[in-house]
Structure 1
Amino acid sequence: MNWDDLRVFLAVARAESLSGAAKATRLDPATLGRRIARLEDALGVGLFARSPRGYDLTEEGERLLPRAEQAEQALAQGVDDLRGQAGQLAGSVRIGAPDGVANFLLPQVTAAISDANPGLEIQVVALPRVFNLSRREADMAIAVSPPTAGRLTVQKITDYRLHLAATREYLERHGPIRGLSDLRGHRIIGYIADMIFDPELDYLAETGAERVALTSNSVSVQLHWLRAGAGLGIVHDFAIPTAPGLVKVLPTEVSLRRTFYLIRHGDDRRLARLNRFAGLLTEGLRAEVARLEAQS
């Protein structure tokens, strides 16, 4: 058995399909199928149960999985040790993040890290959902709630603030807003209710809004509606500097505080390269949130 066979095994186990593993390994599904069959023949056991749903681990495959992950970690740690001698970070790091932090914070922070580490490839996956680090969808993820299950490590990054906002033009076209009761009759912008993937994102529940007229699962879409003068909505304070026409509405009555957390797979805590990157990322995000909120 060689490491490349284990790499293929891990990719299929995490993706639970050949097509999903093909994206991770850049091998075509037919090649992956042959490689898995070859590994099973060499071991004399079936590692996967094939079904229309995909590839599920057998009992033998479940026993092999933690050993293969240990081999993966040992190899990664060895590579990290060698790269660490050069003083700069190299290789690739994939970050999973909600689109708010991905759009308004990570570009500046990761650009600075890249400037200091030109041999490093940084990938940002911006999706409005929770990332599955056990399946290695990302090396680390930013979340608004700490996970309660899984072999994961959690580190608080920073608190951040949100406020109700609208453009000056919108407010001039409509009646004055002196209290929460005045929000009735205004067009409200927010999340699609059944696509809120974390209770911490249910911002409008705190405003008492009964109807949300314009909804999207994307923070960026919501912000563009606000910039277009389409209504009122909750916006991150760190995003307000990107939309100079926005002003806070009822800043005392509607003032929300949330927290960003950095989530990593528990086995990665021994990897010096990822530890260093996580430190730079956390430090950069704290500074960028503080800088932008001071301008809002």
Structure 2
Amino acid sequence: MNWDDMRIFLSVSREESLSGASRTLRLDPATVGRRIARLEAEMDAVLFVKSPQGYVSTPAGERLRAHAEAAEQAMTEALSEVRGDEHTLTGTIRVGAPDGCATFLLPHVVQSIVVANPGLSVQIVALPRVFNLSKREADMAIAVSRPRTGRLRIQKISDYALHLAASRAYLDGHEPIRTRADLAGHPVVGYIPDMIFDPELDYLAELGLSRIDAASNLVSVQLALLRAGAGIGVVHDFAMPDAPELMPVLKDQMTLTRAFWLIRHDDDARVERLNRFATTLAEGLRAEMARRTQP
């Protein structure tokens, strides 16, 4: 058995398919399949069962995965020490985040970190769903709700506020909105209801608004709809500087508060490079949110 076999095994286990693992590994799916078959023969054990959902780990596969991930972590730490980069920010780090954070906050923060650390490359993955760190989709992820299960290290980054907003052109062309009752009859922009991936994003229900007239699964598209005059919707306060056409609506009467959480796999706590990056990232996000929401 060699480490390359373990690397391929882990990729299939995380992606739950040969095609997914082949994309990650940049190998042909047939090659990945042969390597898994060879590993199973060498270990005299069935590691995966093929199902309509993909490759599902057997109990033997689950046991091997725990050891393989421990070996992977040891290899990562060894490489970091050998290269002497445990005290510097170098290499590639992938950060997953909901698209609101990824669009309006992370670019400014990441650029500052990269400029200060020339040997560092940061990948921002913006997806409207919860990231699976156990599959190593990212080195760390930012979420809008605190996970309740899993071997994770969780750090609260900061609270943030959201308010209703609409474009100046829209507001100028309609009756003034002075109370909640005045919202009746106005078109509403929000998430596609069946694509809300976290209860914390169900803003409109909390505000008593049930009808959605224009919807998207992406915050950036919702903001574009509001800027185009599609109606009234919930906007992150930190996104307002990017949308000068928008005006707050009922800001003193209706406020939503949410939080960002930084989530990491528990095993990564031993990697000093990732610890330093996580600290720098959290501090940068707090500073950027404060900068973008100051009066």
Answer whether TM exceeds 0.5 for this pair. Answer: yes
| Alignment check: 8 A CA contact 2:80 2:86 kept | no
Secondary structure, aligned partner of 1:34: helix
Asked if 1:129 corresponds to 2:132, the answer is no
- Per the alignment, do residues 86 and 15 of structure 1 end up closer, same or farther by CA in structure 2, a change over 3 Å counting? closer
Matches of 2:251 and 2:187 in 1, distance apart?
Answer: 18
Query: What is the aligned partner in structure 1 of residue 168 from structure 2?
Result: 168
The 5 Å alignment of 1:248-259 reads 248-259=248-259
The number of equivalent residue pairs is 295
Q: Deviations over 1:172-214 (max 9, x none)?
A: 1000101000001111111111111111111112322231101
Secondary structure, aligned partner of 1:69: helix
Matches of 1:180 and 1:190 in 2, distance apart?
Answer: 17
Query: What is the aligned partner in structure 1 of residue 220 from structure 2?
Result: 220
Q: What letter matches 2:200 in structure 1?
A: E
41-50 or 277-286, which moves further after superposition? 41-50
| Alignment check: 8 A CA contact 1:83 1:89 kept | no
Query: What is the aligned partner in structure 2 of residue 151 from structure 1?
Result: 151
Matches of 1:85 and 1:238 in 2, distance apart?
Answer: 34
Question: How far does residue 137 in structure 1 lie from its aligned partner after superposition?
Answer: 1.1
Query: What is the aligned partner in structure 2 of residue 61 from structure 1?
Result: 61
| Alignment check: 8 A CA contact 2:90 2:117 kept | yes
Matches of 1:272 and 1:188 in 2, distance apart?
Answer: 46
Q: Deviations over 1:150-170 (max 9, x none)?
A: 111110001111111111111
Q: Deviations over 1:96-138 (max 9, x none)?
A: 1110000000101111111122222211111111111111111
Secondary structure, aligned partner of 1:286: helix
Query: What is the aligned partner in structure 2 of residue 108 from structure 1?
Result: 108
- Per the alignment, do residues 104 and 83 of structure 1 end up closer, same or farther by CA in structure 2, a change over 3 Å counting? farther
The 5 Å alignment of 1:255-274 reads 255-274=255-274
Matches of 2:131 and 2:19 in 1, distance apart?
Answer: 19
Matches of 1:228 and 1:235 in 2, distance apart?
Answer: 14
193-202 or 39-48, which moves further after superposition? 39-48
| Alignment check: 8 A CA contact 1:180 1:207 kept | no
Query: What is the aligned partner in structure 1 of residue 181 from structure 2?
Result: 181
Q: What letter matches 1:22 in structure 2?
A: S
Query: What is the aligned partner in structure 2 of residue 276 from structure 1?
Result: 276
123-132 or 47-56, which moves further after superposition? 47-56
Q: Which runs of 5 or more residues in structure 2 are unaligned?
A: none
Matches of 1:180 and 1:28 in 2, distance apart?
Answer: 58
48-57 or 220-229, which moves further after superposition? 48-57
| Alignment check: 8 A CA contact 2:86 2:271 kept | no
Question: How far does residue 87 in structure 1 lie from its aligned partner after superposition?
Answer: 4.8
Question: How far does residue 256 in structure 1 lie from its aligned partner after superposition?
Answer: 1.1
| Alignment check: 8 A CA contact 1:152 1:263 kept | yes
Q: What letter matches 1:13 in structure 2?
A: S
TM (normalized to structure 2)?
0.96
- Per the alignment, do residues 53 and 104 of structure 1 end up closer, same or farther by CA in structure 2, a change over 3 Å counting? same
Query: What is the aligned partner in structure 2 of residue 233 from structure 1?
Result: 233
Query: What is the aligned partner in structure 2 of residue 119 from structure 1?
Result: 119
Report the identity percentage. Answer: 62
Secondary structure, aligned partner of 2:34: helix
TM (normalized to structure 1)?
0.96
Asked if 1:16 corresponds to 2:13, the answer is no
Matches of 1:235 and 1:177 in 2, distance apart?
Answer: 17
Asked if 1:75 corresponds to 2:96, the answer is no
| Alignment check: 8 A CA contact 1:47 1:61 kept | yes
Question: How far does residue 84 in structure 1 lie from its aligned partner after superposition?
Answer: 4.3
Question: How far does residue 23 in structure 1 lie from its aligned partner after superposition?
Answer: 1.8
Root mean square deviation of aligned Cα = 1.3
Q: Deviations over 1:227-262 (max 9, x none)?
A: 111111110000000011111110011111110000
| Alignment check: 8 A CA contact 1:190 1:212 kept | yes
The 5 Å alignment of 1:15-34 reads 15-34=15-34
Q: Which runs of 5 or more residues in structure 1 are unaligned?
A: none
